[in-house]
Chain A
């Protein structure tokens, strides 16, 4: 009987609880880290695209003066998306003018159009878009790509 009871009493002993008081602090640290290193995804990409790979790519500085232009597939047809909306290539100059008027003097000078173009996109469309950008005097362009090491 006696050894039995001792066995039961052992099971009653409670496990010391872990002190988790500092866990929120740790998670907050991680949270702040992410808040600083990332930036909010500004626009929803409505076209499907995969940018090419290149070895000579540079980082694009100053995000405020960057206009995103996406060229990709939506279903079977190729579409151009400027910032948040699907546009026709002919509408680009007017759109760029709109965006430009909302920027500060400095950023107007620095305005860069980041072209995120799908690998398979035909050059005819890309040239057309580039021509429209040229008309709008948005002359700084960036062919977006992922980096590969040489």
Chain B
């Protein structure tokens, strides 16, 4: 009699449905959350111009005018260019005059955002290319693998000088009203 009692087992809890419940939770989270990490081109805009602010004079030779017309055609200093050519042009300009050059961009109101974005991307690509070369030469590794300090140093060595302000003045001197610096982390 006693023996029989000892052998009696504790009734098992039926946990078959726990899997279903957790599956439902899992699916709920999959639906309501998003996996995509935000990626994009980080830019720093210039503060709004003050009334008494006088436009800065820059040498016309250091300015490169990149224009996007209503038909999404890209031109650089008046000549039509492709994105690759634009990258190459900016690269040459920034390599020659690191801290003095200005890339002035202007987009027509009718142009599409995609064309504008590609233009920005191409310009940033040129700077990234220069920094990468610098990183390989001086640190012997890729730009991405450098430490934060090294990257800041490189970003300062090759600053992105992109302006979206309008140029005023004649052939010899140009004035940029607003300046947009590239955001390097």
Contacts and interface: CB of A to CB of B under 8 A. Distances in A.
B34 A114 contact: no
A114 B116 CA distance: 16
A105 B184 CA distance: 22
B113 A21 contact: no
A63 B38 contact: yes
B45 A134 contact: yes
A55 B125 contact: yes
A122 B40 contact: no
Give chain B's interface secondary structure class: mixed
A109 to B, nearest CB: 13
A143 B30 CA distance: 26
B113 A118 contact: yes
Interface in B32-80: 32-35, 37-48, 68
Contacts of A143: 40-41, 43, 117, 120
B97 to A, nearest CB: 22
B156 interface: no
Q: Interface extent on A, as a size class? A: 35 or more
Contacts of B32: 40-41
Contacts of A30: 26
Contacts of B118: 52, 54
B88 to A, nearest CB: 15
A84 B149 CA distance: 38
Interface string A70-102: 010000000000000000000000000000000
Give chain A's interface secondary structure class: mixed
A58 B110 contact: no
B109 interface: yes
B43 A41 contact: no
Interface residues of B, number: 46
Contact of B23 (A27, A39, A63): A27
B29 interface: yes
A133 B40 CA distance: 18
Contacts of B173: none
B68 A134 contact: no
Interface string B146-171: 00000000000000000000000000
Contact of A57 (B30, B41, B116): B41
A147 B16 CA distance: 43
B40 A119 contact: no
Given A58-B185, A123-B116, 14 more contacts: A28-B22, A38-B29, A39-B34, A56-B124, A57-B39, A66-B38, A117-B117, A119-B112, A119-B114, A127-B109, A134-B45, A134-B48, A140-B43, A142-B38
